Amino acid sequence: MSDHRKPIRVLLVDCRPLVLMGLHDLINARKPRMEVSGQASTYTTALNLADQLRPNVIFFSFFPDALDPLEVVAQLTRSPGMKLLVLKGLYEAVPAAQAIEAGARGIVLAEDPTESIVRAILTVHHHDIGMDRAWADGLCGYAANGHVPLRCNLEQAKQARLTLRERELIHAIVGDPSAKYISIAERLGISEHTVHNHLSNIYQKLELINRMDLLMYALKHGLTNQEQPPESTWVELD
């Protein structure tokens, strides 16, 4: 069996049994595309299992432990064959920029739809799309200095592909990061299904994984500084 046909082996690292159980069931329900190869509730166990099992993707949560989580992230990502995604709750304090600097490839919100979580695993494994050190540095600079770094030509080219409607949706999400998709849909006068369709297009055009990536991208590239968009011009066709 060729490599691209083998299941993606996922290692789960979290101290909460319910979270481990939920991720385990979600991922194993996608066999043969992916499967859980191991679970760890301490960072020492995570390091040992990663060395033994050599997973393709590691779902990693920050929690109290004897080991420093950022150092663990750095150790887990030393092997080029292992990609690490940080799992965080919307209101959990996680050092996202430092995690990316340490080697994480992206941040996944626990509140994201299940298909978004599955897509994050597939994307980071097959396409290696994630936030790099420069991105992390930009986030750190934004937080420390209160300004947005200059955009590069590449990012300007990506953003030029966004439609007015997609920009309006980005502005709505950035304006209220904790809003549920149904709430955003009602505010814009569209269906939740349409919101998800346009988000998929936005993620593809900007080479992002999920909503958390979009929020951090907006901080780095100044999408939060744009003026309030005009009254919604969304029109849904049957």
Same domain, 79 and 108: yes
**pTM for the full predicted model:** 0.58
Please report whether residue 232 resides in a domain. no
The answer to whether the CB of 100 falls within 8 A of the CB of 55 is: no
In total, how many domains does the chain have?
2
pLDDT for 4 beyond 50: yes
3 state DSSP class of 182: helix
| Pair 127, 161 in one domain | no
Inform me whether the pLDDT recorded for 90 exceeds 90: no
Examine residue 53 and state whether it is found in any structural domain, yes or no. yes
Structural domain range at position 217: 150-221
The residues near 121 (Cβ < 8 Å, ≥ 6 apart) are 8, 10, 27, 34, 57, 59, 85
Residue 168 has pLDDT above 60, yes or no: yes
Share of the chain above pLDDT 90, in %: 34
Q: Residue 105: its pLDDT value, please?
A: 85
> Could you give the percent of the chain with pLDDT greater than 70?
80
* pLDDT, average across residues 18-43: 95
Distance CA 213, CA 178 (A): 14
The most distant pair of C-alpha atoms in the chain lies apart, rounded to whole Å, by 56
Per-residue pLDDT reduced to its tens digit, 48-86: 999 999 999 999 999 999 999 999 999 999 887 899 999
| Whether residue 129 is found in the same domain as residue 182 | no
